[in-house]
Chain A
């Protein structure tokens, strides 16, 4: 390597830096003199340097046995005296100024002792290994054996950490190794170990005559070269350990949010559904038709329509919504919104089950109760509810299942806030979208389990409640109000006939 330079040219723009470059040459190894910040680049940013030496020829693509840590931070080649630690890869850098001075286009570097490898737009890989590191490890960066094992290790760790980006193993054809603080290549000046903020070092790239942002490279890798004994590589856990980690990392909140939301929702649905069903069976057919349509329509409408309407009713974008908000009802994207969404969508299931059951009750029996002077409320509590109970119970369970599964209206009206409105179905969708397929699958399994339990319960319950219809009435209903009244109504019916 020949001499390297640093210079500042007061009052002269980057476009003309080529001329002073030829005139001013200082050894880079000398301590950098501090200049007044008159030049456009901060002091310490090399703006001129000797051209890189000829590229080395190295075939590093051997079947090297390189172990890479799980988090892609460390790598060690079997038999090598050194390894890589604190590895990171910057896919972009920044041409942002710091404290008013420009640092060219810069990529973060792993401290003052960190190595840096930059892939240039022209397909060259420039590797900087600080003198101090080379000395500490007793390596000669010009040695082909070192270069080969370094590149093999770097390539292995990078292909683990690359995340789908470009890899030098596929694109770089020329390799340069340097310990100099600055090197010129292809019209750009690469400065290494430039301290921008105390304790933060960067590789800076300056292309004379061009905007800093156009000095962008393909990517830059950095890390520390350390003794092999200092590299600790944590492997991926397998088997039970992996499972344990999955569960300890799992965010359980969607389950609790789902149970909480569906639980409170169910309570409201239960009360409203029974009242609505009771009210509907009592009114004239014309009113009944209208009420029935209104109560059932959320079941027919797409949940997104329900969610959209709710958003319009309570949101900021309509007069009604603004009125609600100005009166303290600001519920969009909150947990109550999730409850309301699941009530609206699941209510028809409860309502229809209850109404169907109420309608099938024998009218003469209810009338008999009235002739005995029973109030409507007592009839409801003592007769209608117990008699319709099997249907009501299955309606409740169905409504609960629907509430647990609610997605569209909730997402629309309550959003996706982890721990607040993120129910299991919403978590499944967003986990899948974020690439966490294993978590999404786990929740799918949970939902299937819940649904299975619900169906099992309904079947078991209805087969049990069917029994009295097949003659074993005494077993279940002996001495009940129902028995006495059905005798009563039978007598009344007979009396009417005779």
Chain B
């Protein structure tokens, strides 16, 4: 195909111009889209400045709260009709902290499953330190499928022939995985290095467990799913995960000794750039004091801190 230089320039210019135009179109679309968008700060900032107006709260909460928190939210909306909740994000705490770092306006309230992940959010400047408060405590347990005959009597059982596979959450994204790692280290089944921000590296498994461990799940819920489906014989999850994942067919088998891992605390804090800080704070307080909320958390195995 023969083409003159002038022609080429013309075509190239047209192509670039049209691309720019479509891109601009897409981006203006974004502007209007963000008013319905779940995560954007603009959306929440636009919606309310005082508690009198309608408020939509976006919560980032540890994956383990997936069943309990929506029930408490519904309870809260009943008594506070002006407050609704955007689709709450239940993911591994590490993931949530990363998301908040990528988009500082993505949420109004952050609840993580470990002190360390909340510390990281604080050092990213994502949260308002004054509002930080421990909300729940939990236990680390070993769960097995409902129909399993396996009976775990100590963590050391994992090193024996009794157990051929077990799962933990990815330690840097999932606090339950980190606690599991601490417990396994306590029993001499693993060694690792821990940086000051809690990042774990150089994980070396003991020979007795090296070919049994599955440590790649990015949320504690997925560990529970793996156990329920029988893909692993057992796994480390929280007590509360037993109750919320019952339909996955898992049961509590063994509760790890509290001294084998750091205390499991769920801190909550209002996000620094939240436009609905008051409402977020009020909801947090509601979770900790309302008797009906207490009942819901009790059912799901979350103990108020």
The reply to whether the CB of A164 lies closer than 8 angstroms to some CB of chain B is yes
Nearest A residue to B295 via CB reads A108
* B178 at the binding interface (Cβ < 8 Å): no
* Structural contact, A96 and B304, CB atoms closer than 8 A: yes
A247 within 8 A of B: no
B61 to chain A, nearest CB (A): 13
| Interface of B (DSSP majority class) | helix
A330 to B289 Cα, complex, angstroms: 36
* Chain A neighbourhood of B30, CB < 8 A: 329-331, 334, 336-337
Which residues of chain B have C-beta atoms less than 8 A from A279's C-beta? 11-12, 14-15
Q: Is A83 an interface residue (CB 8 A)?
A: no
Segment of A173-181, A387-395, A414-422, A456-464 in the binding face: A414-422
CA distance A455 to B225 in the complex (A): 33
Least CB distance, A337 to chain B, in whole angstroms: 8
Q: Is the CB of A333 within 8 A of B247?
A: no
Report the bound CA distance from A264 to B30 in whole Å. Answer: 12
CA distance A107 to B298 in the complex (A): 8
The answer, yes or no, to whether A57 is at the interface (CB within 8 Å) is: no
B102 to chain A, nearest CB (A): 4
Decide: A417 and B89 in contact? CB cutoff 8 A: yes
A339–B39 touching, CB < 8 Å: no
A475 interface hit (Cβ, 8 Å): no
Residues of the A chain whose Cβ atoms lie less than 8 Å from the Cβ of B25: 268
The B-contacting residues of A in range 88-124, CB under 8 angstroms, are 88-96, 98, 107-108
- State A434–B102 Cα separation when bound (angstroms): 25
Q: List 28 A-B contacts (CB under 8 A).
A: A88-B299, A89-B299, A91-B298, A163-B244, A164-B242, A164-B246, A196-B291, A268-B25, A272-B19, A272-B22, A276-B15, A282-B1, A283-B12, A315-B103, A329-B31, A331-B27, A331-B34, A333-B103, A334-B34, A334-B37, A334-B43, A335-B33, A336-B26, A339-B26, A417-B87, A417-B89, A420-B38, A435-B224
Q: Do A278 and B105 contact each other (CB < 8 Å), given the known contacts A164-B251, A336-B30, A420-B38?
A: no
Closest 4 A/B residue pairs (Cβ): A333-B39, A334-B37, A163-B246, A336-B30
Query: Which residues of chain B have C-beta atoms less than 8 A from A336's C-beta?
Result: 26-27, 29-30, 33-34, 37
Q: How far is the CA of A329 from the CA of B41 in the complex (A)?
A: 11
What residues on B are CB-neighbors of A367 within 8 Å?
2
User: Would you give the shortest CB distance from A210 to chain B, in whole angstroms?
Assistant: 15
Q: Tell me if A166 is interfacial: C-beta within 8 Å of chain B.
A: yes
Measured in the bound complex, the distance between the Cα atoms of B102 and A316 in whole Å is 5
Complex CA gap A96/B305 in Å reads 7
Contact of A90 among B2, B26, B299 (CB under 8 A): B299
Known: A268-B22, A331-B27. 14 other contacts (CB 8 A): A90-B299, A164-B243, A200-B291, A316-B102, A330-B105, A331-B30, A332-B106, A333-B39, A334-B30, A334-B39, A337-B30, A339-B29, A418-B87, A435-B247
Q: Is B163 an interface residue (CB 8 A)?
A: no
Interface size, chain A (Cβ < 8 Å):
67
Contact with B along A108-144 (1 / 0, CB 8 A): 1000000000000000000000000000000000000
- Complex Cα distance, B302 from A182, in Å, reads 26
Q: Which of A328-353 contact B (CB under 8 A)?
A: 328-337, 339-340, 343
Shortest CB-to-CB span from B33 to chain A, Å, is 4
Q: Is the CB of A334 within 8 A of B38?
A: yes
**Chain B interface (Cβ within 8 Å of chain A)?**
1-3, 7-8, 10-12, 14-15, 18-19, 22, 25-27, 29-31, 33-34, 36-43, 66, 86-87, 89, 99, 101-106, 143, 146, 219, 221-222, 224-225, 228, 239-240, 242-248, 250-252, 288-289, 291, 294-295, 297-305
Report Cα–Cα, A91/B304, bound state, in Å.
12
Cβ B26 vs Cβ A94 within 8 A: no
In whole Å, how far is A260's beta carbon from the nearest beta carbon of chain B?
10
Nearest neighbor of B35 in chain A, beta-carbon distance: A334
Beta-carbon contact of A417 and B302 below 8 Å: no
| Central interface residue in A91, A165, A264, by most chain B CB within 10 Å | A91
| 0 or 1 for each of A414-438: is its CB under 8 Å from B? (1 = yes) | 0111111110000000001111000
* Pairwise interchain contact B225-A91, C-beta atoms closer than 8 A: no
Interface pair A417/B38, CB less than 8 Å apart: yes
Shortest C-beta distance, B236 to chain A (Å), equals 15
Contact, CB under 8 Å: A165 / B243: yes
Chain A interfacial positions (CB closer than 8 Å to B):
88-96, 98, 107-108, 162-166, 196-197, 200, 216, 264, 268, 271-272, 275-276, 278-279, 281-284, 311, 315-317, 321, 328-337, 339-340, 343, 363, 366-367, 376, 415-422, 432-435
Cα A124 to Cα B295 in complex, Å, equals 23
The answer on a CB contact under 8 Å between B298 and A317 is: no
Q: Are B288 and A96 in contact (CB under 8 A)?
A: yes
CB-contact partner of A343 in B11, B26, B27, B33, under 8 A: B26
Chain A residues within 8 Å of B106, by CB: 332-333, 415
Chain A nearest CB from B272 CB (Å) reads 12
B243 touches A434 (CB 8 A): no
Q: A93-B298, A94-B303, A271-B22 are in contact. Are A164 and B252 (CB under 8 A)?
A: yes
Report chain B residues within 8 Å CB of A432.
225
Q: Is the CB of A433 within 8 A of B219?
A: yes
CA distance A483 to B11 in the complex (A): 27
Chain B's closest residue to A420 (CB) is: B38
Give the residues in chain A near B14, CB-CB below 8 Å.
275, 279
Our pick among A92, A321, A330, A416 for the contact of B89 (Cβ within 8 Å) is A416
Of A98, A166, A216, A334, most buried by chain B (CB within 10 Å of CB) is A334
* Cα A315 to Cα B7 with chains together (Å): 38
Residue of B at shortest CB range from A109? B295
Verify A332–B299 contact, CB threshold 8 A: no
